[in-house]
Each structure stands twice: as C-alpha cells, then as structure tokens.
Structure 1
C-alpha cells in the first residue's frame, strides 16, 4: 500500500533558492528531513524559462508536516499575511528558534515574537504559556501581559510570567 499523501501541504515559492531553503529549514528543526527533488526538463521551457536539470521542487518534512519548496521565479514574494507558528515549551526553545531563524533575516520585521527569515518567510516563535496567559479570565492579568508582550521583539517568557503573576 502506498504512503498516504498529506491532504494540505504548504508550498513555498522561491526564486531559485528552494533547495537552499529546504536544507536550511531541515537544519533548524530536529525532526526534519528532505524528500524527493524534481528537476526542470526541456518540455515547457518556453513557459518556465528554467535551465534543464535545475531544481524545480524539493519536498521536505518538519515535525511530521509536509512542505514543498518550488523554484517558481521572481513573480511572487512572501509577506507577513502568512506565517508559521512555532509553539515553544521553554525560553531555551524560544532562544534556539529565534537565533536560528533571525540569522540573516529582516531585523525590521521582528516584533511580538514575529520574525522574517533570510528567505523572507515569516515565523512566530511563541511560548505555549503565552496562550494560556492571554486566555485567563482575570482581565487585569491579560492587560499586563499584553502590554509587556507588545513591546518585545523576541518573547521573554520570564518577564511575561513576572508581569502575569504580579
């Protein structure tokens, strides 16, 4: 029996960096791997304009989620309208992902746990505890956490816990 294909797969559109990006993401996440790679052929070259044999797509997996990186060309760019959330258990985990994904990224795009990596992809590096704090029935706690959180670039979980409990 063939492997079941994931019903919904995120597709990243790159301008020639699909393989580099897939390898980067696989190096950042511990449970990750590269899958199949397809290459452009002569057929359709008048439309795709890519060199024969160059990488067309790279399948990769992160934390049991399938992704596809496509070398589609310069027509489309990433925006913050779509981002990937990394739910973190600890400050060490936040620091790890933040440090890896901000390297070479857009510093101006760093706010409230959001960042843009060196490929222009947006990520949210978020502590799971923040969601719990923001769902608290005590609105004063929520207000304090929100005020602190909105001033941060990288999330400081210790600071959030301090203002939450004060």
Structure 2
C-alpha cells in the first residue's frame, strides 16, 4: 500500500463546478471520480479533492497553488483565465479565482533570478509594484 498525499479544497456546494473550471484551465487535467460530496481531479498530474463541505470555511491566502510558467505568454494565459468571471488580481503574482481560491502565477526562472542576494534586492522592489509578474522587467531589474 502506498501513501498518497494531496490537498482537499473545501467548497460550498460547488466543488464539481470548480473542478470542471480548473480542468478547463490546465492541460492534462481531468476529473477522476465524483459523488455528491467529493470530486477527485488531477491538474497536470497533481491529485486534488474538492469537498462540498458547506459554508463553514472559506479559502484564504494561507494556502495557494503555485503555477510555474516558462514564458510570459503562459503567465498571461493562466492569469487571464483564473481571474475571469469574478476572479481578483492581487499583488506580486498572486490572484484569487472566481471561487476565492488563491494562486501564484510565477515565472519558472524566479528562483534563479533571486538566488543572488544583490540581485534579489533589486528585484523585490520591482515585484512589489506588480500584480501580474512581467518576466522581462524582472530580468532587467
């Protein structure tokens, strides 16, 4: 028997709608099983569970999913899709989708750009002025 660890996302009766939405945003994603209480789905191979738990708990920024993007086109695409229909932009590459769930849409080179402390000191003020991250502006900082 293998242990499997995956996040459970608590929804107020709309777990299936959320799973369907996320599977439409990310390629290689699918709903793997469902019943009235639970929807199991995968986003790019990452297993998740959506629970129709009711109105008792709400999402907050203490838990988010990070999407590493190789190009600005990818950043723009995910940003636009996830903020559509009531999603909200936040700061520094963070956003909330229409279900109130937080995402971080970041360039895959962010770790490399920030690995040098001197460069990180130049990049952080630039990041702090952005909502959606701009790869070229970060490279030029």
Structure 2 counterpart SS, 1:120: coil
2:87 match = 105
Structure 2 counterpart SS, 1:23: helix
C-alpha displacement of 1:5? 6.4
C-alpha displacement of 1:150? 1.1
For residues 91 and 78 of structure 1, the distance between their equivalents in structure 2, rounded to whole angstroms, comes to 27
C-alpha displacement of 1:7? 1.1
Stretches of 4+ aligned residues off by more than 4 angstroms: none
1:9-158 matches, cutoff 5 A: 9-38=6-35, 55-103=36-84, 104-107=86-89, 110-137=90-117, 139=118, 141-158=119-136
For residues 37 and 147 of structure 1, the distance between their equivalents in structure 2, rounded to whole angstroms, comes to 44
For residues 62 and 103 of structure 2, the distance between their equivalents in structure 1, rounded to whole angstroms, comes to 11
2:138 match = 160
- TM-score with structure 1 setting the length: 0.81
CA RMSD of aligned residues (A): 1.3
Which blocks of at least 5 consecutive residues in structure 2 are unaligned? none
C-alpha displacement of 1:106? 2.6
Specify whether residues 6 and 36 from structure 1 end up closer, same or farther in structure 2 by C-alpha distance, changes over 3 A only. Answer: farther
Structure 2 counterpart SS, 1:76: coil
Q: What does the per-residue CA deviation read over 1:24-56, in whole Å, with 9 as the maximum and x for residues that have no partner?
A: 000000010011112xxxxxxxxxxxxxxxx21
Count of residues in Structure 1 that have an aligned counterpart in Structure 2? 140
8 A Cα contact 1:13 1:70, kept in partner: yes
For residues 32 and 25 of structure 2, the distance between their equivalents in structure 1, rounded to whole angstroms, comes to 16
Specify whether residues 115 and 93 from structure 1 end up closer, same or farther in structure 2 by C-alpha distance, changes over 3 A only. Answer: same
C-alpha displacement of 1:6? 6.0
